[in-house]
Structure 1
Amino acid sequence: MVDEERMRELLASEREDAERLIASLSHGIAEVSEAREGDNSDDEHDPEGSTLAFERSQAATLLEQSRVRLGEIAEAVTRLEEGRFGICVGCGRPIAPARLEIRPYAARCVDCAAGR
């Protein structure tokens, strides 16, 4: 049996973390873009250019992953409200409580997540 109150707390904490990270990454990307605005040097020949391009790319990837995570959290809240939380969407078996403690927005059991 899943402790619904505990899962709500974990999901709220995960949502806050994801929102905070999204805000921080968005701000960081904007700062890097503003710093490069009006600069006509190209990344290929600028000793710092490749580093800036790499950092911008990394931040954009993390931003996208955080947005996906936020969506997964919202879906988990819906499953919780509908009484489907903790049941694997792949096979219909219960998701291990330890997995839900670590990743409360998990929609699949370990076997289904691993593609087994």
Structure 2
Amino acid sequence: MDSPVVVLRAARDSARRRLAEVEVQLMQLREARGAESADDEHDPEGGTLSAEWSRIEGVRVGVLTELEGIDAALDRVAAGTFGICEVCGTAIPEGRLEVRPTATRCVRCAELRQ
């Protein structure tokens, strides 16, 4: 496994790129909405502008949440607590961290949370 910092920074860069793309989509939608009437005009073969706005905004919020998790994980690396379960204090298995580098709980504690 690459260093957690390398993995997390790459994930952060990827998330930032996705956020920039989503923000461009929102800007384009704002422009399209401004060009249309006050009604919820839509493409007859597609969804309404409001539905598309809602979908894209949901993606934006998801990416922002992902970035918060990545930044928190980088903070844990700096503090020396990365890879330690925040509930029971045991080491989070490397395999879990490879799949979910922002994990804050070991598998057992994550399952208990659900």
Q: Which residue pairs with 2:28 in the alignment? A: 31
Q: TM-score, normalised to structure 2's length?
A: 0.85
- Cα RMSD for the two superposed structures: 2.2
Residue 100 of structure 1 aligns with an amino acid whose one-letter code is: L
Asked if residue 12 in structure 1 is aligned to residue 9 in structure 2, the reply is yes
**Structure 1 residue 51: Cα displacement:** 3.7
Moved more, 16-25 or 100-109: 100-109
Residue 25 of structure 2 aligns with an amino acid whose one-letter code is: G
Asked if residue 58 in structure 1 is aligned to residue 55 in structure 2, the reply is yes
Asked if residue 109 in structure 1 is aligned to residue 106 in structure 2, the reply is yes
Q: Is the 8 A contact 2:90 2:106 kept in 1?
A: yes
Gaps of 5+ in 1: none
Q: Is the 8 A contact 2:26 2:53 kept in 1?
A: yes
**Structure 1 residue 38: Cα displacement:** 3.6
Q: Is the 8 A contact 2:41 2:48 kept in 1?
A: no
Separation of aligned partners in 1, 2:73 and 2:42:
47
Moved more, 102-111 or 22-31: 102-111
Asked if residue 88 in structure 1 is aligned to residue 67 in structure 2, the reply is no
Moved more, 86-95 or 15-24: 86-95
Separation of aligned partners in 1, 2:19 and 2:61:
9
- Secondary structure of 1:107's aligned partner: coil
Q: Is the 8 A contact 2:84 2:90 kept in 1?
A: yes
**How many percent identity over aligned positions?**
38
Gaps of 5+ in 2: none
- Secondary structure of 1:101's aligned partner: helix
Distance 1:49 1:36, change over 3 A: farther
Asked if residue 22 in structure 1 is aligned to residue 19 in structure 2, the reply is yes
Separation of aligned partners in 2, 1:73 and 1:79:
10
Once the two structures are superposed, residues 19-66 of structure 1 have per-residue CA deviations (whole angstroms, 9 ceiling, x without a partner) of 001100011011011111041152278736734322221111111111
